[in-house]
Amino acid sequence: MRKRRLAATVHRFLSPGARVVAIAFMWRVHRAALPFGIGAAALTAAAGVLAGFDTASSVVAVSLAGVALAVVSSTDYRVLAMTDSQLVFMRGSRFREAATGIIDVLPLHVEIEIMSTNLVAGEWRIDQQRFMVAKRHQAAMRTIASTCGQRVFNSHESAGTQDEVVSKRSVQARKGRRAQ
């Protein structure tokens, strides 16, 4: 459902004949988000005390709401869509996975590489900018990166071509089935 809605919003900004190959939704938090969050916590705590909140838990709750608001407001959401001829970099919505406008059109040979991954998201570098990409969009990012001529590896895999990585995985899978 989310991917269909994201695809529909991306198609609104593309030319009528463009064929979309892959779409990924990503975000990055501004580097000043932590100081901004601390300042927002202090201001909202002071406002809570002045407003008459008398328990420490209510002041902490108001402070945490201030921190959440500061972090959300300092986060940039982006959509990277690959068509058959170009990469389109778009603004993303803060509240749902949707494209809201075109920022730039990138050539297909732009540098895209994965920096690290964890259980929730992966960190990718796209044309010298770092973005976090949720796991549900990792396959699209791998498709985009491999089409752009980049080699994409998991953090535990050694360097090699995509075919070597795929063949390593299939050999490991066969060994696992034989052991069972």
Question: Does pTM surpass 0.85?
Answer: no
Q: What is the structure's pLDDT at 78? A: 94
Same domain, 22 and 46: no
What mean pLDDT do residues 137-150 have? 85
What whole-number distance in Å separates Cα of residue 127 and Cα of residue 125? Answer: 6
Assigned domain for 175 exists: no
Sign of torsion over alpha carbons 72, 63, 119, 164: positive
Which tokens sit at 134? 């949720």
Phi, psi of 104 (to 5 degrees): -160, 155
Own/partner pairs for 114-121, CB < 8 Å, 24+ apart? 114/141, 114/142, 114/145, 114/152, 114/153, 114/154, 116/155, 117/154, 117/155
156 pLDDT above the threshold of 80? no
Assigned domain for 100 exists: yes
Assigned domain for 176 exists: no
Which tokens sit at 72? 């959300």
Quickly count: other Cβ atoms within 10 Å of residue 62's Cβ: 19
Q: Which residues contact 106 (CB under 8 A, 6 or more apart)?
A: 86, 87, 88, 89, 127
Same domain, 82 and 18: yes
Phi, psi of 67 (to 5 degrees): -65, -45
Assigned domain for 179 exists: no
Per residue in 50-95, pLDDT (tens digit) is 988 888 898 999 999 999 988 888 889 999 999 988 899 999 998 8
Q: What is the structure's pLDDT at 46? A: 92
Give the orientation angle of helix 33-51 with respect to helix 56-73, to 10 degrees.
Answer: 140
Task: Quote the domain boundaries for residue 137.
Answer: 2-30+74-149
User: C-alpha angle with apex 172: 120 to 165, nearest 5 degrees?
Assistant: 65
Same domain, 102 and 56: no
Q: What is the structure's pLDDT at 74? A: 87
Please report, rounded to a whole number, the percentage of residues in the chain having pLDDT higher than 70.
82
Burial of 20 (0-12, 13-18, 19+ CB in 10 A): middle
| CATH number for the domain harbouring residue 139 | 2.30.29.30
